[in-house]
Amino acid sequence: MAISLDGPDAPSHDDFRGIPGTFDRAMLALYHAKKIGLETQFQTTVTRRNLTRLPEMARIAADVGAKMRSLFFLIVTGRALADMDLTAEEYEQVFDLMYELSKTAPFAIKTTEAMHYRRYVAQRMRAEHARCPSARRPAR
């Protein structure tokens, strides 16, 4: 089951979605899925509004036992305005957070509309391998 959560609390999520009560319903569904053993995918659209709150949402994903943390990067179209999109520096901050989190998180992490995350991962892995030459090369 895939559930979108775009903020770590009702005000931030409901404001983004434009419908009061959606945070509480999403959390109810996530905890119920955990209780009955249904695997979940925890989805978030990354914007300037929630950039600094992504660690909080990662903790929620872990608490509800999500199998997958899926981050959707904004496509400026429709209701998505250009000022909601991240700057290049903010993208790098999110990529750093994702990369570090992927090392310890109890869930897998995937991106949508962030092909440049592959570049980031390759650069980080190359740098880490250079610091520790005896480390095994990652599969390609």
Strand order of the β-sheet with 2-4 is: 2-4, 41-46, 68-73, 108-112
pLDDT at 119 over 50: yes
Share of the chain above pLDDT 90, in %: 61
Spatial distance between the Cα atoms of 68 and 110, rounded to a whole number of angstroms:
7
Per-residue pLDDT, averaged over 66-95, amounts to 81
In this structure, of 4-13, 63-72, 119-128, the range with the lowest mean pLDDT score is 119-128
- Note the pLDDT of residue 7: 96
pLDDT at 96 over 90: yes
User: Can you give the pTM of this predicted structure?
Assistant: 0.81
pLDDT at 68 over 80: yes
Residue 62 lies in a domain: yes
Q: Which domain holds residue 41?
A: 2-131
Residue 138 lies in a domain: no
Residue 95 lies in a domain: yes
Per-residue pLDDT, averaged over 88-109, amounts to 92
Per-residue pLDDT, averaged over 21-46, amounts to 95
Residue 140 lies in a domain: no
Spatial distance between the Cα atoms of 97 and 101, rounded to a whole number of angstroms:
6
Work out the angle at residue 50's Cα, subtended by the Cα atoms of residues 20 and 91, and round it to the nearest 5 degrees. Answer: 150
Q: Name the domain count of the chain.
A: 1
pLDDT at 19 over 60: yes
Residue 119 lies in a domain: yes
